[in-house]
C-alpha cells in the first residue's frame, strides 16, 4: 500500500526498491534453493552458476513488471504479496526445467496423473502449493522436510535408499512404490516439486526418455551391461565395453572404485575380476595395480567376490550406509561416462 499510495515518483521508487530488496529478493532466493538447489547471494550473484543468476534476475524482472502494472489500473490484484512472488519464482523455475530437462517434466506430468488415479496416493492445493501424500493426509499442511536445503535432502536420500531398497536397485522399482516409500519415510505431505526432484535423483533422471511410471525402469546398471552381451552383440564388442568399464572403474575415487568392484556381478553371478580375466583383458598384476593392492590381496578378495553390502562394509571398514552411497555414486558416474 505505501508503494501504491506514494505521493510522487521519487517516493514510489523508494517504496519499490524496499519491496524488491527486502521482501521479494529473499523469497526468490528461497524458491531457487528449494526448487533447483541454485544459490545466489544477497546481490543475486553466483560466479559458478550463470543459470542461477539468470533465473534470479528473470524472477526479479517479472515481479517489477507486475508492480508497475499495479499502478496502471491493469486489473491485477494481489491478495498475498509473498505468495505472489513465490509463484512467479516457481513459474520461472518451471519454465527453466521444461527447457533444460524434458525428462523431468514428463516425470512430473506422470506423477500428477498417478496421484489422480491411485487409490492411496493423492495431491491437493494448500496455501498456493500443490502437496501430495497418502489419502488420509489430504488437506493437511506440508511436512517441514520440504524446507531443508537440497544438499541435506540429497544426503538423506542416500540413507533412504540403503534402508528402503537395500536388497534391490531402486531404479527397477515402479515409481508408485518409490513415492509410497518416500511418504512413509518422510511421514507427512510434501510439495509435488520436491517429490519429483527426489525421484529424479533416485532414478538418475537427466534427459533420458521415461516410457512408463508404472513399469519397472530397465536401468539397473550391472544388468544393462550384461544384457548387451545377450542381445546379439559380438564378443569383440562386449569385450570392448568391458575394457572401457575397467578403465573408468580404476579412475573412480578409491571408495567408489572399491564399493563398485567388490560388489559387481553379472546375471550369471560372475564377479568383475573373473570377467576381466576370462576375457583376457588384464592379468593379475594389472588388476592389482588398478585396485591399488598387492596381487596376493586381490586374489584373496576374488575368493569373496561378489560381496554383498555387509561384506563390502566389513572389508572396507566402513558403514553399510557409506558403501551404498559410494556404489550409487560410482554407478551414476559410470553410466554418464559410458553412455556414449
pLDDT of residue 183: 93
CA 334 – CA 2 distance, rounded (Å) = 57
Peptide bond into 306 cis (omega under 30): yes
- CA-based nearest residue to 198, from 186, 208, 209, 207: 186
Residue with cell 530437462: 101
* 39-56 pLDDT per residue, tens: 888 788 887 788 888 888
At 283, list the grid cell.
Answer: 592379468
The mean pLDDT value for 154-158 works out to 86
Tell me how far CA of residue 209 lies from CA of 140, 206, 227, 237, 337, in angstroms.
34, 9, 19, 25, 18
- CA-based nearest residue to 272, from 294, 254, 248: 248
Q: Mean pLDDT lowest for which of 13-17, 76-80, 206-210?
A: 206-210
* 281-299 pLDDT per residue, tens: 889 899 999 999 998 898 8
Highest mean predicted confidence (pLDDT) among 42-51, 121-130, 178-187: 178-187
Residues in the chain: 340
Overall pTM surpassing 0.85 (yes/no): no
Residue 333 confidence (pLDDT) above 70: yes
Residue 214 pLDDT grade (very low, low, confident, very high; cuts 50, 70, 90) = very low
Q: Percentage of the chain with pLDDT > 90?
A: 17
* 86-95 pLDDT per residue, tens: 889 988 887 8
Residue 112 pLDDT grade (very low, low, confident, very high; cuts 50, 70, 90) = confident
The mean pLDDT value for 143-160 works out to 82
Residue 209 pLDDT grade (very low, low, confident, very high; cuts 50, 70, 90) = very low
Neighbours of 116 (CB within 10 A): 10
- CA-based nearest residue to 85, from 15, 150, 141, 22: 22
CA 33 – CA 47 distance, rounded (Å) = 16
Name the average pLDDT for the chain.
Answer: 81
Q: Mean pLDDT lowest for which of 7-16, 176-185, 230-239, 262-271?
A: 230-239
Contacts 24+ apart (CB under 8 A), 143-151: 143/186, 143/187, 143/188, 143/189, 143/190, 145/186, 145/188, 145/190, 145/194, 146/34, 146/190, 146/191, 146/194, 147/34, 149/33, 149/37, 150/33, 150/34, 150/36, 150/37, 150/197, 151/37
pLDDT of residue 101: 65
The mean pLDDT value for 116-132 works out to 87
Residue 133 confidence (pLDDT) above 90: yes
Residue 210 confidence (pLDDT) above 70: no
The mean pLDDT value for 71-77 works out to 71
pLDDT of residue 74: 63
Q: Percentage of the chain with pLDDT > 70?
A: 87
At 245, list the grid cell.
Answer: 568399464
Amino acid at each position: 500500500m505505501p508503494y501504491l499510495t506514494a505521493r510522487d515518483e521519487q517516493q514510489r521508487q523508494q517504496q519499490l526498491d524496499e519491496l524488491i530488496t527486502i521482501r521479494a529478493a529473499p523469497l526468490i532466493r528461497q524458491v531457487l534453493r528449494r526448487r533447483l538447489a541454485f544459490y545466489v547471494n544477497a546481490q543475486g550473484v553466483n560466479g559458478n552458476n550463470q543459470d542461477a543468476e539468470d533465473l534470479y534476475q528473470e524472477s526479479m524482472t517479472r515481479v517489477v513488471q507486475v508492480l508497475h502494472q499495479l499502478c496502471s489500473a491493469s486489473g491485477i490484484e494481489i491478495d498475498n504479496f509473498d505468495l505472489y512472488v513465490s509463484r512467479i519464482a516457481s513459474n520461472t523455475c518451471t519454465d527453466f526445467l521444461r527447457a533444460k530437462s524434458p525428462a523431468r517434466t514428463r516425470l512430473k506430468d506422470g506423477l500428477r496423473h498417478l496421484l489422480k488415479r491411485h487409490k492411496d496416493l493423492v495431491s491437493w492445493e494448500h496455501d498456493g502449493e500443490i502437496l501430495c501424500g497418502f489419502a488420509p493426509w489430504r488437506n493437511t499442511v506440508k511436512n517441514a522436510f520440504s524446507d531443508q536445503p537440497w544438499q541435506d535432502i540429497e544426503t538423506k536420500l542416500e540413507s533412504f535408499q540403503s534402508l528402503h531398497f537395500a536388497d534391490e536397485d531402486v531404479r527397477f522399482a515402479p515409481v508408485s512404490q518409490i513415492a509410497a516409500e518416500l511418504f512413509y519415510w518422510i511421514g507427512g505431505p510434501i510439495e509435488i516439486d520436491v517429490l519429483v526432484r527426489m525421484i529424479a535423483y533416485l532414478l538418475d533422471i537427466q534427459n533420458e526418455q521415461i516410457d512408463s511410471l508404472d513399469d519397472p525402469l530397465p536401468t539397473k546398471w550391472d544388468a544393462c551391461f550384461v544384457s548387451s552381451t545377450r542381445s546379439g552383440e559380438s564378443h569383440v564388442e562386449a569385450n570392448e565395453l568391458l575394457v572401457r568399464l575397467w578403465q573408468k572403474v580404476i579412475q573412480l575415487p578409491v571408495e567408489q572404485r572399491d564399493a563398485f568392484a567388490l560388489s559387481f556381478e553379472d546375471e550369471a553371478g560372475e564377479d568383475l575380476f573373473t570377467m576381466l580375466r576370462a576375457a583376457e583383458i588384464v592379468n593379475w598384476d594389472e588388476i592389482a595395480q588398478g585396485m591399488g593392492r598387492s596381487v596376493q590381496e586381490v586374489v584373496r578378495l576374488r575368493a569373496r567376490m561378489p560381496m554383498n553390502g555387509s561384506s563390502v562394509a566389513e572389508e572396507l571398514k566402513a558403514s553399510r550406509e557409506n558403501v551404498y552411497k559410494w556404489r550409487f555414486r560410482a554407478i551414476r558416474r559410470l553410466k554418464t561416462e559410458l553412455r556414449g
